[in-house]
Amino acid sequence: MIKAMSQTGLNLFIPMELLINSLNALSLSDKRRIWQILDEAIAEAEEESREEDEATATEIQLVRNEYENGEYTTFQEYLSNQSK
């Protein structure tokens, strides 16, 4: 078992089938750990993708401007409007 990992990266090519077979052999706790790592990596990649998308960046800026101008509804206001 490796107790400490170097900060330098290592690029490996692992065929998808071998990777899937290896994942299937892991314990539930290890699978959950990999799931968490992948979930974080996907969220970061999606965020970077959104930031790069000019249309999305424009839309985000418009929403930020509306918020700064007080043009928003609080969650409590939203809930009370839904119950009417």
Determine the Cα–Cα distance for residues 47 and 26; give it in Å rounded to an integer: 29
Q: What is the number of structural domains in the chain?
A: 1
Assign 17 a pLDDT band (cuts: 50, 70, 90).
Answer: very high
Assigned domain for 2 exists: no
pTM score, whole prediction: 0.46
Find the mean pLDDT for residues 8-22.
Answer: 87
Range of the domain at 36: 28-82
Determine the Cα–Cα distance for residues 36 and 19; give it in Å rounded to an integer: 17
The whole-number pLDDT of residue 37 equals 94
Decide if pLDDT at 3 tops 80.
Answer: no
* Helix ranges restricted to H, the chain: 16-24, 28-52, 54-68, 75-82
Assigned domain for 33 exists: yes
Assigned domain for 53 exists: yes
> What are the pLDDT digits (tens) for 19-72?
999 999 999 999 999 999 999 999 998 888 776 777 777 888 899 999 899 888
Assigned domain for 45 exists: yes
The whole-number pLDDT of residue 7 equals 62
Assigned domain for 77 exists: yes
The whole-number pLDDT of residue 25 equals 95
Assigned domain for 69 exists: yes
Assigned domain for 13 exists: no
